[in-house]
Structures are given as C-alpha cells and as structure tokens.
Amino acid sequence: MQFNWTKLTLGTTLTILTGVVCVTVAIAASAPDPDRGREAFEKRCTGCHALDSVKLGPPLRGVYNRRAGKDRRFTYSDAMKDASITWDESTLDRWLTDTNSVIPDTDMSFRLNDAEERADIIAYLKQLSDK
C-alpha cells in the first residue's frame, strides 16, 4: 500500500487553516469594542454620568489617564479627592467591578460583573480620551 503524502498535506493544511480562522474569529469577538462600549455606557452609566456635563456623577469624557477626583467641575467625596489613582484599564476594570474595593467610602456604589462589558466600556472611555 502506497501512502498519499499530497492528500495528507492538503488535509492537514485545511485543518490548520480552519483552526486559525476559528481562533482569529474568537479573538476578534472577545476584543474590547468601543462601539459596544458606547452602547453599554449609555445603558449602564448615563443615569448618573454624562460625557461633558455634571450629573449625579462627574463628566466622563477624558477620564482615561486622569487622576481620580480631579475634575474641577465636580464636588467629590473626601475619599475620592484623597485617592492616588490614575484611571487606566486596570484601575477602571477594578472600579467597575466593585467601586468600594478600590476606594472605600466614596459616594458611588456600583458593580458590573460582566468582564466583557467592562472592557468594552473602558475601550469606549479610552477612545474618547484619545480624541
């Protein structure tokens, strides 16, 4: 019996390419998406926050890479004013997961358990700060 190397190579190549396509699609689907983040922001955050004006909470345009408690338009709690945190992916993710675990005794109490939704909101806020 003679072994057909051409058939094996073609079959192996197709299997590998199929796997690569599946992994690429999975990675793209799980990558933070600012457009989904805008939708999640509007659904989850706009009850208390606006991008450019004070509501119950401070405006959030430009919050990415800003020090906590430093927007002059808003009156922050003492805990927030005294915090030495700069808002980046890590701190925003922890904050949106459980505000009180990051800065206890602030006026904001919020938890967002969905890691993908948090990442999307953070991508949206980051995109707004880059403009």
pLDDT in the model for residue 77: 96
Question: For the segment 20-61, what is each residue's pLDDT rounded down to a tens digit?
Answer: 554 555 444 569 999 999 999 999 999 999 999 999 999 999
One-letter identity of residue 110: F
Could you read off the pLDDT of 58-94 as tens digits, one per residue? 999 999 999 999 999 999 999 999 999 999 999 999 9
Maximum average pLDDT range among 4-8, 41-45, 106-110: 41-45
Query: For residue 55, how far is the Cα from the chain centroid?
Result: 22
| pTM over 0.75, yes/no | yes
Pair 62, 124: CB distance under 8 Å: no
Sign of CA dihedral 112, 115, 121, 122: positive
Residue ranges and CATH numbers for the domains of the chain are 34-130 (1.10.760.10)
